[in-house]
Every structure is written in C-alpha cells, then in structure tokens.
Chains A and B, each alone.
Chain A
C-alpha cells in the first residue's frame, strides 16, 4: 500500500508534476495495481543471470555528426549555438 504522500514523492522523483486534486485517484489506482503485483511475491528462483549474446562493439572510427543547424532544429530556444535550458542555480 502506498499513501498519498508516497504518490507525491514518486511524482517528484519522476519530475512528472501532479496536482493536489489528482493525488487521491492516482493513489487508489496505484494501490489496485500494486495489489495485483503482489503475485510476484510468490515467484520462485534466484535473480536471473543475463542470457544471450555478449561483447557487441563498434570500432573507434569517427562518423559524420549532425550539422549544428540540425542539432538545434528541434530545440525550443537557442542562443549562439547553445541550447537554452532552465537554470540550475
């Protein structure tokens, strides 16, 4: 069972944004789903080692890059070839 404050914490971790009035419904749905997930408690066996192919590489050979124009084409805003982002201070 998760609480409403758990839901708010998860939303924070996921940078998803959740409004106060959404929290109760998300919590109810979450708990119904987690209730169903409880079946996993009955899974038998040790943690699974990776299976299948290993050692997939490329050689260290330069390939063409995108032009600056193409790299910036989808950015919301740019300045002197840089992409503008929210402040971090």
Chain B
C-alpha cells in the first residue's frame, strides 16, 4: 500500500522587521505585546506597508528551487475569526502567488535521488500567539509580538512516499533556506508544517500545525499506522483535519469543525500588486549545499560522508572552513564526528563555539602534543565552559593545568609496575595466552594516567615488562 505525503511548510523569514510594519522581529525573549504598533495590532485606520526584503527573500527561495515567477502577483485577504488574528483576516497570497512550479532533490528510501515538486511559494503574515492558561481557565491570553512576522509558505506536490522521505525533504529544504540566509532554523517556532497524508486509494488526512522537524516524521508515522490499522479492521479512513499532540506523539481529530471554512478571499485593497519577475535575474545565489559538498571533497580531500555532514548546516560548513587550514582531514573527523556529537549531547549550537580555540586544539592533536583521548577531554572542558557562558580557555592552558601533555611510555614505568603487581590474575592469563589480558592491563594504566599516553605505545611497554618478568 503506497503512502502519499504532501507538505505545506511555513517558515519565518529572517528579516529585521515585520512583513507590513517596522516592528522588530526579534521578539523571542521580550515581554508580551512590546513589539507591536497600530499596523500589527490591527488598530482601526492603520495600513500595511510591504517589506521589500521579504519579497527579495521569497524570490531568492524561488530561484534556488528553480521556480517560475509570474509577471504579476498580488496579496489577498483570507477572512476568518480567531483571537490571535488581529484584523480577522490574514494578508496572504491566493490565486496570484509569488512563484510556482519548482523542485527539491532528495534521496528516496532506497538511497536514489528523486525530485519533490514544489507547487508554489507565497508570502503571508504570521498571526499572534495564543497562550492557553493552565488549570481549566475559561479564557485565552494573546501576545501580538509574533503578529505580522513574514512567513513564506512552501507547498509541495504529494511526491513523498514515507515519513522518512518527508523528514529528509524538510532537512534538505531547511539547509537550502539557511544557505540562502533567509531563515534561522534555531529560532523557536520558526518552522511549522501542515502535512497531507493518504494511503493509496484511501481518503486524505491533513495533520495541522506540526512545529518541529522530528514532529513531522513522528506525526506521519503515527498516521500511517493508524490508517493501516483502520483498513486492516475493514474500516475506512475519513477525510478530515487532525491535530498533532507533540507531547504524546499522536494525532487527534479536529472533528470536522475546521473544514467548514469559507475564507472569502479577495485582493487586498490596501496594497498594490507586485511585478518582480524581472528581479530574479539579478539575484546572486550563494553556493548551495550540493555544490559546496562537492567542493569540500575536491578542495579538502575529505570523504563523502564527512562532506555531506559538514555541509548539512551552513554554519557548520563555515565553521569547518575556518579550522580546516590546520589539517583538513583531521579537522573533518574532529568537527563532523567528535565535535558534532558533543554538541548534540549538550544541545548546543555550533554558533556558541569559538573556531580559533578549536583550531588550536586541532594543532595540538596534529603535532601529537596530546593524544586523541586527551583531546576529547580538553574539548569537553571547553564546551562545558561555553555552555555555561564562561570564557573559553585556550586548549594549551587546559593541557598545562590538567597535565595532559602526551607522555612517552617510559614515564609510566612506576604505574606499569604497580598495575602488574596488583593484577596477578591478569598476568597469569597473559602468560597462558589470553590476549584480552594485555588490553585489560593497558586499560588500567590508561585509567591511572588519564589518557596521556598513546595506547599502542603503552601496549608495547606493558608486554615488554610482562615478557621480561619485570622491569
């Protein structure tokens, strides 16, 4: 049974001001209703003024997705009542969107390349934010700081065949948007998705307002299971709108209410039409993910896997390019594997990491001043400091303070002797040919010396000691 998925993605464009007024978009840490003016509060008599940059950003996306920009596009009013919508209409685009007919290339579930067709992109304003008071209160609270933030709505054709493909599509789209510099995926709530999903031959279900990348895959996976179970039990799938409960990982029916909308679209009389098709030729696109990945492999001689990981996020790719001069291959391993893992563990952004310090760390590793193991320890100390907002010490200083400089095996003679003396059973095992015993003893020495020595060199010393029956 084929799964058919189409997405409508709303991304907040990273402009400095709102779509139709000069209020700052940098509202996330501020008090409610402090980024508002007569326009975005919908006060009587206020008029919208279109932000040129939002249009430019929209066109940049259109060009990157190889879309067609019609000669004329237009804003329209979508009329409905909801307490977060200050004018009781949303200014959006309806039958004359900014751009139509594009594609995004992704990998399908078999690892083959495939195209997801983009139906259209259009500009619209974000509504305000509703806070539902806990404890069964009978009212809601509204913050209009978000009201009027520019959104780009990106609508796909139903071209994805699994929840995993949908996730890969979103990751790819996000990467492109970040490369274009029009979107900041780290901002909370900056991406929201409505997903249409059906099993071939069955009715389509719309899952509304999924607010994270992982949520999309989860919601769709839940839906596939739910719909398959229905069919297995001989029931049918109802065409309906469902809500995704992020916390519980399930979708629930909106009970038909939202499907009765009659939005009464008509052209927004307070704004003039756009004629911007001619701008597209003027747009200089930055190097996009695929091109950058290929360049990384050629220029730095790194593996496809590392190149793919590093270029999956423009900030990470920029970071890599800042430290690659030390040793491109060493840097790729450390940034793509070690550093990224440590960041994920801490839920930290690459933006919080000072590249010059990491370059210094790579230099210490490259010159074999410290071992890999000690390198990890230094890295962790640096990241912990960054995470707490403390100044990041120089790696050399940490090595000095903690005595982590790589040592030759000879320095550990005393420790080796103590370990051998304390583990007669292991020594006996070694003598009877159990190879694991050597590793055990080396591990004990590593532990005692906190990773300051190269394990291979230590192994040689320990076995020498054992062979000679003492030191």
Partner among A13, A50, A64, A84 whose Cβ is within 8 Å of the Cβ of B74: A50
Partner among B17, B43, B81 whose Cβ is within 8 Å of the Cβ of A60: B17
A64 to chain B, nearest CB (A): 8
By the criterion CB–CB under 8 Å, are A87 and B17 in contact? no
B316 to chain A, nearest CB (A): 27
By the criterion CB–CB under 8 Å, are A86 and B34 in contact? no
Whether B262 is near chain A, meaning CB under 8 Å from some CB there, is yes
CA gap between A87 and B267 in the complex, in Å: 30
Q: B81: nearest residue on chain A (CB-CB)?
A: A15
By the criterion CB–CB under 8 Å, are B275 and A58 in contact? no
Binary contact track A48-85/B, C-beta < 8 Å → 1, others 0: 00101111111111111111100110100001111111
CA gap between A64 and B21 in the complex, in Å: 10
By the criterion CB–CB under 8 Å, are B52 and A59 in contact? yes
Chain A residue numbers with a CB within 8 Å of B31 are 68, 81
Whether B244 is near chain A, meaning CB under 8 Å from some CB there, is no
Q: A52: nearest residue on chain B (CB-CB)?
A: B272
Q: Which of B133-141, B211-219, B369-377 contacts A (4 or more CB under 8 A)?
A: B133-141
CA gap between A11 and B414 in the complex, in Å: 92
Chain A residue numbers with a CB within 8 Å of B55 are 57
Chain A residue numbers with a CB within 8 Å of B273 are 50, 54
Q: A58: nearest residue on chain B (CB-CB)?
A: B49
Tell me the chain B residues, 265-297 only, with Cβ under 8 Å from chain A: 267, 271-276
By the criterion CB–CB under 8 Å, are B74 and A65 in contact? no
Chain B residue numbers with a CB within 8 Å of A86 are 83, 139-140
B274 to chain A, nearest CB (A): 6
By the criterion CB–CB under 8 Å, are A87 and B140 in contact? yes
Chain B residue numbers with a CB within 8 Å of A52 are 272
B22 to chain A, nearest CB (A): 3
By the criterion CB–CB under 8 Å, are A84 and B141 in contact? yes
Q: B23: nearest residue on chain A (CB-CB)?
A: A65
Interface centre among B33, B50, B52, B140 (most CB of A within 10 A): B33
By the criterion CB–CB under 8 Å, are B16 and A61 in contact? yes
Chain A residue numbers with a CB within 8 Å of B109 are none
Whether B459 is near chain A, meaning CB under 8 Å from some CB there, is no
Whether B439 is near chain A, meaning CB under 8 Å from some CB there, is no
Binary contact track A34-46/B, C-beta < 8 Å → 1, others 0: 0000000000000
Q: B41: nearest residue on chain A (CB-CB)?
A: A71
Interface size class of A (residues with CB under 8 A): 20 to 34
By the criterion CB–CB under 8 Å, are B130 and A62 in contact? no
Binary contact track B65-99/A, C-beta < 8 Å → 1, others 0: 00000001010000001110000000000000000
Whether B24 is near chain A, meaning CB under 8 Å from some CB there, is yes
Chain B residue numbers with a CB within 8 Å of A66 are 36-38, 41
By the criterion CB–CB under 8 Å, are B16 and A85 in contact? no
Report if A82-B22 is in contact (Cβ < 8 Å); known contacts: A57-B51, A60-B53: no
By the criterion CB–CB under 8 Å, are B17 and A82 in contact? no
Partner among A13, A53, A82, A84 whose Cβ is within 8 Å of the Cβ of B272: A53
Binary contact track A16-32/B, C-beta < 8 Å → 1, others 0: 00000000000000000
Chain A residue numbers with a CB within 8 Å of B304 are none
Partner among B38, B54, B141, B262 whose Cβ is within 8 Å of the Cβ of A83: B141
Report if A79-B50 is in contact (Cβ < 8 Å); known contacts: A52-B272, A72-B33: no
Whether A88 is near chain B, meaning CB under 8 Å from some CB there, is yes
A89 to chain B, nearest CB (A): 7
Report if A50-B267 is in contact (Cβ < 8 Å); known contacts: A60-B52, A65-B37, A71-B36: yes
Query: Could you list some 8 contacts between A and B, CB below 8 A?
Result: A54-B72, A57-B51, A60-B54, A66-B37, A68-B31, A72-B33, A83-B144, A84-B141
Binding site for B on A (CB under 8 A): 13, 15, 50, 52-68, 71-72, 74, 79-89
Known contacts A50-B267, A58-B51; 14 additional CB pairs below 8 A are A50-B72, A54-B273, A55-B272, A55-B275, A63-B21, A63-B22, A65-B35, A71-B33, A72-B33, A79-B141, A81-B33, A84-B140, A84-B142, A88-B82
